[in-house]
């Protein structure tokens, strides 16, 4: 059977391609995808998605499936793309006459990280899955906090020093729930949304995983 495989970030650079078709035997599992790619030893910490939903290694694959091999995540109203982010536009997406508070988080590129001078950041993403995962996060924080609306935007590609890479806005009747939900949303986004950060610094570059977000 034939499936489609997608790679991102450091895996894409390692392979030299981002998408290709792959032939697997009938009855193959997600765990069989990496060995079939013939890219060497499987890196630690990989996750997989089958048809844009996270899948464990024992999940069966079928002809026509799309399997994404996902490196550890760095990391509305749920948007992701290469254009500069607009805080006012994201805030406008959560505006509501019932809101007494709008909490925001803006993540920006800083000049120093882990003792190195940063030149700029680059972000890669699995856009279709990223947007659906943002929506899932919003649903979960709404279920846990008394809030009205959630909006999220993440930039991809080249992000210069001082510019925003991610913006989250949450509206609520009161500031406490808005602030709590905003913090939970960004913390979860960095762990689960398939967006990866490359840090370009003086003298080199490196893809950064969860611990470096």
Whether residue 15 is predicted with pLDDT greater than 60 in this model: the reply is: yes
CATH of domain 78-212: 3.90.1170.40
Whether residue 193 is predicted with pLDDT greater than 50 in this model: the reply is: yes
Q: Would you give the DSSP letter of residue 136?
A: H
Give the sign of the dihedral formed by CA 87, CA 88, CA 92, CA 94: positive
Q: Would you give the DSSP letter of residue 30?
A: G
Choose among 46, 67, 183, 209: nearest CA to 124: 209
The pTM score is 0.76
Average pLDDT over residues 173-195: 96
Residue pLDDT, tens place only, 62-78 = 999 999 998 865 544 78
Instruction: Identify whether the C-beta of residue 32 lies closer than 8 Å to the C-beta of residue 48.
Output: no
From CA 175, how far away is CA 170, in angstroms rounded? 10
How is the chain split into domains, by residue range?
Answer: 2-70, 78-212
2-70 matches 78-212 in fold:
no
Name the most confidently modeled range: 3-12, 48-57, 65-74, 100-109.
100-109
- The reported pLDDT for the residue numbered 213 is 43
Whether residue 112 is predicted with pLDDT greater than 50 in this model: the reply is: yes
Q: Superfamily for 2-70?
A: Beta-grasp domain (3.10.20.30)
Residue 212 — pLDDT band, cuts 50, 70, 90?
A: very low
Pair of tokens at residue 133: 């995962």
From CA 206, how far away is CA 113, in angstroms rounded? 12
């Amino acid at each position: 059977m034939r499936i489609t495989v997608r790679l991102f970030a450091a895996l894409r650079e390692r392979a030299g391609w981002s998408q290709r078709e792959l032939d697997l035997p009938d009855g193959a599992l997600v765990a069989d995808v990496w060995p079939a790619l013939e890219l060497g030893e499987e890196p630690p910490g990989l996750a997989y998605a089958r048809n844009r939903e996270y899948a464990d290694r024992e999940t069966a694959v079928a002809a026509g499936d799309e399997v994404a091999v996902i490196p550890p995540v760095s990391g509305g109203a749920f948007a992701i793309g290469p254009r500069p982010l607009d805080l006012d536009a994201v805030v406008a997406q959560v505006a509501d006459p019932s809101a007494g508070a709008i909490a925001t988080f803006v993540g920006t590129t800083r000049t120093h990280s882990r003792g190195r001078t940063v030149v700029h950041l680059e972000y890669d993403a699995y856009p279709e899955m990223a947007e659906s995962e943002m929506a899932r996060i919003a649903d979960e924080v709404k279920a846990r906090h008394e809030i009205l609306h959630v909006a999220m935007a993440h930039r991809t590609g080249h992000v210069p020093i001082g510019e925003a890479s991610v913006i989250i806005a949450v509206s609520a009747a009161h500031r406490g729930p808005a602030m709590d939900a905003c913090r939970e949303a960004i913390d979860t986004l960095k762990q689960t949304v398939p967006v990866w950060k490359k840090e370009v610094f003086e003298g080199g570059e490196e893809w950064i995983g969860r611990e470096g977000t």
